[in-house]
Structure 1
Amino acid sequence: MAPACLLGVCSLLCAWSVVMGHPCALDHQGWADCSGKSLLHVPSSLPSNITGLDLSFNSLVIPIHGTLLMPLPSLRSLNLSSNALLALSPAVFSNLEALRLLDLSSCSIAYLHRDAFKGLGNLHTLLLRNNNLQELEVPSLLPLKALFHLDLQHNALVSLDALNLQLMEAIPQVRLGGNPWVCDCAAHPLQQWLKRRQAVQVTCASPLGLQGQEVAALDFQDLGCQMKRRFPRGVSTVQQITVTHSNTTTPPTGKGGRSWPYLVGFLVAAIGISILIALAAKCKLFHKNFASYRHRPLPETSSIGGSPMEDGSGWDRSSSGPGDSESHRMPGDADLQAEDDDGFIEDNYIQPNEQMQEEEERELHLSI
């Protein structure tokens, strides 16, 4: 009796689905199973209170403009795997604000628009494995602020730039295995990122010499990068250039520490030459100053010419008359010695009272 009742209930549900216009199977937990129904479009008659929707293995067409689904405020899980979506248009999931899991595996996606995940601020898990992604746009992951798990395995990624890797630092779980990673110098940021994520296993696909090896286990020499390295002070410049341009060459050991005596000797020689030059300049200036300040004896007055007193006596003889010969006699040697002792040269000028007496005497002579 019970199996007959169960069969009747299933028949009623199937009939109700046909009448409502969608082939999806609904359960009492709010899950709608529309997998493998060859659907081109999402049924519009789905209940708005469903929490899970499986649309895998269909032939869904992504609209160029607008959203893929009608507003489903309670939808938490959406499975779109194994649909030939190729590309995701902008804001195609913008009306699914409560979505927590989005499965886009095996959809042949080759391009993600920068606004493809707009409106999915509560998304926890994003599955993008088994697609054809060759690069990952940085802005496409910016709206996913609550993302915890990102699966990018088995795509066509050959490298990731530093911006993408920095953005993925906030995502606790990231899967990158199965991509054809090229292990060259451009993979150095990825190598550093993988070393911090020890649980992530990523292997090289090319070149052939590194195929199958883990990227995190390689060093800069294996990647072919020319990186700046710090050398001890004793290593010469030639050795540093050799190590920088040839990653397989290392500075010879045991010889680097012997170059410091040459450096010390060069410094001592340079300082000694500088001191000698300074002393030579000082000596030249000293001789020049000594020659300029050396004292010489002054020439005697007799060697230069006649004494000023002789000139003065001649002037007196020419200017005075015969009556003044006795009053204006020549000064003796004692007078000259006294004048020399004073240090001043006195002018033989006539006092005003003597000049008046001479004029009166002249008038008397003329009158006589």
Structure 2
Amino acid sequence: TSILHFTFWVFITLQDRNLVACEESAKSLFNISFNLLQNITKLSLKNNKITLEDHDKEILGCFINLTELHLNENNITVLNNNSFYNLKNLITLDISNNCISTVHKAAFAGLNQLSVLNLSYNMIAQLDSDTFTSLESLTVLNLQHNFLKYFHIKSSFKLIKIVLAGNPWICSCDLLDLQIWLTASNVTLENESNTTCTLPNMEQISIKMAAIQPANCKIENTPLKNTVTSTPAVNLRSSALTLPLVGKSWTFLAGVVGFVLGTTLLILTAVKCPAWYHYLISYRHRRLEENDSEMFEQEFSADMSPSTSISGTSSEEPIVVFKKVHACGDEEDGFIEDKYIDIYVNEER
């Protein structure tokens, strides 16, 4: 009886202090169980196989008193909008060591009391600048060991500590607003010595100390830059990469226009100047001049003259005379005889 009274007293004490914990770790769970107490304040689901689908989100919405949630070491790949919408009392959220590659803009909507957010050791390559704007109480943000190359952040964003180490940061103009925010605000960049750039000759330089000149980044605000880099498939985030791309596109366009104009000019020339076209096709033909024709007639007549040939022959040589032999005989004129016509002509006579 004393043991039962002691257990009951402990339960009542936990209820009064809002420390109702539930441990569901390392149980190979694919989904969050619906049989859990809905008044729990701390839920640990780490080291399972949870993917946080719609079914899991509906069950999480029932734990309205939850203040601490651990979903690390699971199989979560996407954080959809309103994934934790009903957890208005949540203070600590740990989603580290998953396979998260996509974080939607309103994934953390409704977490007005959230203070600590751990997204480390995932596969996040891009984050929208408004992803954390609704988290008014956020003080600690852990983004280390992801695939982030840049991170646009607003100056009004308030934090006490941020962890950004282990990301392939590119210290270009796209990182300027983050650098200015790290310098101007009172935030602590944890593990700053390992939060370095990945560009050549800058591997040992902290992103907070990298030499990014604001004067060289004014081109980032031009419409041309926005047009080129607005397509996610291109994903060129630095002005150094954008400007050569624009130049090559204009060169290619000029080459295409020149080729089209040249081809059109050749076609028009061939159509409008047929004499020139035929001259190119039959360039070996030339017109026979008048003096050439006269010379040809004289040579021909001289060769055909009988006097030269007869006088040049001796009297002893026999003279061969060719006689034309008609195939139809001497009296035939080469026409086919039609007896019907002859009879008709004789009758008329």
Tell me the TM-score normalised to structure 2 length.
0.52
3-state SS of 2:117 partner: strand
Pairs within 5 Å for 1:212-291:
212-220=204-212, 225=216
Which amino acid counterpart does residue 23 of structure 2 have in structure 1?
D
C-alpha distance in 2 between matches for 1:175 and 1:74: 28
Residue of structure 2 in register with 1:332 after alignment = none
The counterpart of 1:107, out of the listed 95, 98, 113, is 98
Q: 1:100 to 1:203 in 2, by over 3 A?
A: closer
Residue of structure 1 in register with 2:20 after alignment = 30
3-state SS of 1:174 partner: strand
The counterpart of 1:146, out of the listed 108, 131, 137, is 137
Question: How far apart are residue 212 of structure 1 and its match?
Answer: 2.1
Question: How far apart are residue 155 of structure 1 and its match?
Answer: 1.0
Mind listing any 5+ residue stretches in structure 1 that lack a counterpart? 10-27, 229-368
Question: 1:118-147: CA deviations, max 9, x gaps?
Answer: 221111111111111111113321321211
Tell me the TM-score normalised to structure 1 length.
0.49
3-state SS of 1:67 partner: helix
Residue of structure 2 in register with 1:207 after alignment = 199
Matched, 1:193 2:186: no
Question: 1:149-194: CA deviations, max 9, x gaps?
Answer: 1111111110122xx2435x32232222221111223323232222
Residue of structure 2 in register with 1:47 after alignment = 37
Residue of structure 2 in register with 1:166 after alignment = 155
Contact preservation (8 Å) 2:30, 2:51: yes
Which amino acid counterpart does residue 206 of structure 1 have in structure 2?
T
Q: 1:219 to 1:144 in 2, by over 3 A?
A: same
Q: 1:214 to 1:101 in 2, by over 3 A?
A: same
Q: 1:94 to 1:195 in 2, by over 3 A?
A: same
Which amino acid counterpart does residue 27 of structure 2 have in structure 1?
K
Q: 1:68 to 1:92 in 2, by over 3 A?
A: farther
C-alpha distance in 2 between matches for 1:175 and 1:98: 24
C-alpha distance in 2 between matches for 1:41 and 1:135: 27
C-alpha distance in 2 between matches for 1:136 and 1:36: 30
Question: How far apart are residue 115 of structure 1 and its match?
Answer: 1.8
Contact preservation (8 Å) 1:185, 1:224: no
Which amino acid counterpart does residue 204 of structure 1 have in structure 2?
T
Mind listing any 5+ residue stretches in structure 2 that lack a counterpart? 8-17, 220-349
C-alpha distance in 1 between matches for 2:196 and 2:171: 6
C-alpha distance in 2 between matches for 1:73 and 1:188: 40
| Alignment coverage as a number of residue pairs | 201
Which amino acid counterpart does residue 91 of structure 2 have in structure 1?
R
Which amino acid counterpart does residue 176 of structure 2 have in structure 1?
H
C-alpha distance in 2 between matches for 1:217 and 1:107: 31
Question: How far apart are residue 38 of structure 1 and its match?
Answer: 0.4
Contact preservation (8 Å) 1:116, 1:140: yes
Percent identity between the two aligned chains: 29
Contact preservation (8 Å) 1:203, 1:214: yes
Matched, 1:73 2:64: yes
Question: 1:263-300: CA deviations, max 9, x gaps?
Answer: xxxxxxxxxxxxxxxxxxxxxxxxxxxxxxxxxxxxxx
Q: 1:205 to 1:216 in 2, by over 3 A?
A: closer
Residue of structure 1 in register with 2:80 after alignment = 89
C-alpha distance in 2 between matches for 1:186 and 1:115: 23
Q: 1:56 to 1:226 in 2, by over 3 A?
A: closer
Residue of structure 1 in register with 2:48 after alignment = 58
